[in-house]
Amino acid sequence: MRTAALLLVYVVAAGFGTYTTFRPTFDSGFDSIQTERGDGMLNHFLLEHSWLALSDSNYRGTLVSPPVFFPQPWTIAYSENLFGVAPLYWVLRLFLPYDLAYIWWQIVLNAINFVVFALVARWLRFPHLLALGGAFLWAFGTVHADQIKHQQMIGRFWMPLAAYYAISLTTVPSTKALNRLLACIFLQSLSCIYTGWFLVVGLMVFVPAMIYFRAGSFGELRRFVRERRWAVLRIVGLWGIALVGLFVPYLVVNWGIARWYEECYGTLPTLSAWITGPPGSRWLEATAPYRNEVTLECWLFSGFTIYALMLAALIHLPLMRRESRPALWPVAAASMVTVVVWWVLTLAEAPDGESLWRVARLIPGGQAIRCVSRVYVVVYLFGSIGALAWLTMLIDRIQREWVRFAILLPIVAALIFEQTGYKQPSFARKDFYPIVDQTAESLRGAEVGYVVPLYRDTTGKLAYGADGDVFAMWVGLRAGVPVVNGYSGRSPDHFPRLEHPYYSFTDDQLRAWLKGKYRGSVRVVDALKPGEVRYVVIE
């Protein structure tokens, strides 16, 4: 009976969090989709592309070469490939149309974040209330809800598992813990390179800190490696090969390309960023007098409760007696050290100022990172684990269960309350997908196409620039025709540049790009001129 009641509480919390996070979708009866028309629809394009590459023998692209930036190969390496989370989308596509499959993919993926964090919290023997509160924050926290607009950031459920197996490895070293830790790192990187990279650098601090704080850990690990060296070498070698296989295409395709430090301006977290939530979130007006304006990539605030718990843990842990739960003290201490280190390493005096990120970015892979603000995944992952571990140790000193419950309930209630109130922007599905299909009719049957990167939705709003290019990619996908258009983190070398976001490529630009690569005609279509087509001959 108790188990069923507890399970019901978790289900209710997950359902409530799912509704508050995806309220625009549910309230509209799934007529609206929570994403932006640039990066968000690019992510859907990549998912649908992978589905077609695997399911449609007539598809004009391959898994590693979406039919964009024609005829450039390996264009998947220009952005996230989403291979780690695409299988869920493929399953949904078996019985849902592509637009609804994308919506449900986001919802289910986010629910998995809740389930996994709750499981990890219970494996660490956190009380149920704290496990529920931590899972709610990890899945439905304001900063995470805001980043649904960048769907590659949703699938982060391998991160709590990686932290758990890192704890297991440094507590009771085993080949199972090592194998599962490296598997989680690989799978998180396969799901999203950004979260994979931040997970690795977070663990680079967390694991040494665990070894330092847990007495005897270094000796046990050294003895384990010595006694099981061949098994350790095999596990590390195999997962190393897998990671190399994942990243080599990115290294080859993007060789010589790196983000300058100055390209990170605007995404460097400042003190203001850490107390700024998105429009409509809790405490936004209350914190306004104490902060400066930040860019929308730096809305990192998820309430004062988790900050208060982290700060209390930082102050009290060095003074705390460890007898009650000795296994948790190193976890809490190492987690908080990880938070402090990465908070300091990425903190800037101003959005366009100096920070230790200038040095930290020299860690392999760091020069590919532009959105430094995504360090929030490290801060909230280890901050939640550390704060909840500290609170678990503190509450364990109280003998009476009802007193423990009475103390934890208002804390968890405040934590959850602070994640409500934010309503993420959305737009109507009819303002994108039907317009794509209508325009695709003019392109269908062509050998190669170019779509003018402009369209007008049903409200009369003109979409252009990145939104227009993603629209054009979708038109090519739905028509089954490779297109010269493309949008991603980068473009091919010597790819034409638009002088104005309202403009499209000139005939001379198309000829210059395709000269020596393709001979034939390019069909040019324009969503603003339905039914009209023209051709550019490439000799």
| pLDDT, position 366 | 87
User: Which residue positions in the chain have pLDDT lower than 70?
Assistant: 256, 321-325
Residue 71: cis peptide before it, omega within 30 degrees of 0: yes
| pLDDT, position 266 | 87
State the Cα torsion 384-386-389-395 to the nearest 10°: -90
46: nearest Cα among 18, 84, 95:
84
| pLDDT, position 539 | 82
| pLDDT, position 489 | 78
pTM for the structure as a whole: 0.94
Helix, strand, or coil (residue 533): strand
| pLDDT, position 325 | 62
CB 203 within 8 A of CB 184: no
Cα 209 to Cα 385: distance, rounded to the nearest angstrom:
14
> Following DSSP, what letter does each residue of 188-230 receive, concatenated?
HHHH-HHHHHHHHHHHHHHHHHHHHHSTTHHHHHHHHHHHTHH
| pLDDT, position 263 | 85
Q: Torsions phi, psi of 62, nearest 5?
A: -120, 170
The residues that bridge with 538 in the sheet, in sequence order, are 520
Cα 179 to Cα 222: distance, rounded to the nearest angstrom:
17
CB-CB neighbours of 362 under 10 Å? 9
Helices 39-55/466-479 angle, 10° precision: 20
| pLDDT, position 274 | 96
CB 483 within 8 A of CB 471: no
| pLDDT, position 322 | 63
